[in-house]
Amino acid sequence: MYVDLTMEIRDGAPVFPGYPRPTIRSWSTIERHGYYSNLLLMPEHVATHVDSPAHFVEGAPTIDAIPPERFFVRAVAIDFSDRPPMSEIGIRDFEERLPKGVEVGPGWAVLFRTGYDAYAGTDMWMRYPYIGEELAEHLAGTGIWSIGTDAPSPDHDPFNVHRILLPRGILIYESLTNLSRVVGRTFRLVALPIKIGGGSGAPVRAVAELE
Ligand SMILES: [Zn+2]
């Protein structure tokens, strides 16, 4: 079974504050031109997307330089949707909720469900629970390849989780959705970014393949 974990890129879709919202315009129609197509203007960090190390680290790999195997991982999704706004998710919270028998490491992604994808575009959206620095260090120490969240970011300004993970080459997926359908389980995650030359990140199509 496949579960689509991707938010739609729509005209005017909400983005992290400071970025312009995507603009989508009709370029051609079957009626007038004989073929249908649209024109897109949008930030790299739109809808469901991945941050490459270059997003925070000068000279680090851009999205086109990440080996494709990094986008095919074993994943575990953990539910933190009961957390209060602006609360920290710590090492102990993570260990208590990690499904029994699951040990994450190289080749793995850890996905955090906050439920804040439901608030996209509202004031509540920016009050998402965040990953603590200790937990970020702990996850980095396991050698995992990526983390993901259905919130717009795993952390708040000054983005210390980004600063811990990206220098070690750990990718960060943001604004995932539908994690309620995969929490408490392990599965294969395929989340491929479009290949933007020199990109700091890129929109992805994220799909969970469940056994
Ligand atoms: Zn981003």
Mean pLDDT across 193-199: 98
Question: What's this model's pTM, rounded to 2 decimal places?
Answer: 0.97
Segments in 34-155 forming alpha helices (H): 91-97, 133-142
Helix (H) or strand (E) holding 164: helix 160-165
- Identity of the residue numbered 165: L
Distance 99 CA to ligand 1 centre (A): 27
- 42-76 pLDDT tens trace: 999 999 999 999 999 999 999 999 999 999 999 99
Residues 23-48 pLDDT 10s: 999 999 999 999 999 999 999 999 99
* Cβ 144 vs Cβ 106: under 8 Å: yes
Burial class (CB in 10 A: 0-12, 13-18, 19+), 96: exposed
At 162, phi and psi to the nearest 5?
-55, -45
Average pLDDT over the chain reads 98
Q: How confident is the model at residue 211 (pLDDT cuts 50, 70, 90)?
A: confident
202 and 196 in contact (C-beta within 8 Å)? yes
CA of 165 to the centre of ligand 1 (A): 13
Per-residue pLDDT tens over the stretch 87-127 = 999 999 999 999 999 999 999 999 999 999 999 999 999 99
pLDDT of residue 150: 98
Distance from C-alpha of 146 to C-alpha of 169, rounded to nearest angstrom: 8
Which residues have a Cβ under 8 Å from the Cβ of 98 and sit 6 or more positions away?
A: 76, 78, 104
What the chain holds in terms of domains, given with CATH numbers, is: 2-8+43-209 (3.50.30.50)
Neighbours of ion ligand 1 (CB under 5 A): 45, 51, 174, 201
What is the per-residue pLDDT for 188? 98
**CA of 100 relative to ligand 1 center, distance in Å:** 31
Are 3 and 207 in contact, with CB atoms under 8 Å apart? yes
